[in-house]
Each structure stands twice: as structure tokens, then as C-alpha cells.
Amino acid sequence: MPDESVRPFRILVLCTGNSARSQIAEALLYAHGGARVEVESAGSRPAARVNPYAIEVLRQHGITWEGRRPKSIDDVMGHHFDLVITVCDNARDACPYFPGAGAQAHWGLPDPAEETDPDAARRAFRETYNALASRVDALLTLPLEDLDPEALRGAVQAVHEA
């Protein structure tokens, strides 16, 4: 019989618009983390919709992400997360400390949504996907549940800096 006292490790990914980087990171953590993690994402100024190029790049890697909507930080405020990761500098600046976070780390990445040319945008979203996929895979190799908050913050930050 499984141990019901073991709860999933809770991760929140923050960005400004919650339409590109944070959505991709949430999708990757959800797809690769299985039952081990619970993941949400939110934005300091949520966009009207998830960027279609984010949905496209996820679909190209077998992750269905249609029907998702950007959420506000207000939607997740008051919830406890074991780890909060900001993926853009604006979100880190808007939310330098997230109440209810066990640990926080920053994975600053360029915003692929700033590209206006379709070919450049697709290329930028592929690069963002690849950067986040390598970080997520490295994150999931860590003994997340066994690290104290300071060790967790350092290990997750080191994943970005590697």
C-alpha cells in the first residue's frame, strides 16, 4: 500500500505575462515530473492568452497544452510552494519574495514572445524550450524533498548557472 503521507513537491513558476517561458516550464515539469511534483505558473501581469508559439513548440515535443490560460500571481497567493522559480527578470523584480515559498531561485531567460517575425519567433521558442528542458531535467535529478530551503535554493540556482 502506498504511503499516503508523502505529498508531491510543489513548484510555482513565475513570469511577467505567464504566456511563454513560465507556461513552457510548467508543461515540462508536469510532463517530466509525474506524480512527484505539483506545478503551477503565474504572471505579475498576465497576458490575455498563452502564446501560440509556446503551444506549438510543446506540441512538437508531444506535450498537449491547448486550453490553458495565463494566471495572475493573485490566483496563487496564499498557497504554499516548496519552490518558486522566476524565469524573467521583471517577475523577479516584481516579486523578489513570494510569501509561502520554501525556497526561491531565478532562471532568467530572454522573452521569446518579443520576436515579431514568425521564423525568428519559432526559433526563439525552440531555444527557450531547449534551455528550460535541460534545466527541468537537471532539477528533477536533485533530491528535492531532502534538501533544506537554503540548500535547495543553491542547488536550483546552480542548475541555471551550469
Q: Which residues are catalytic?
A: 15, 88, 95
Distance CA 10, CA 101 (A): 9
**Where in 44-100 does DSSP place strands (E)?**
81-86
* CA-closest candidate to residue 15, choices 109, 91, 81, 67: 91
Cα pseudo-dihedral 69, 24, 113, 161, rounded to 10? 140
Under 8 Å CB-to-CB from 58, ≥6 apart: which residues? 24, 27, 64, 65, 129
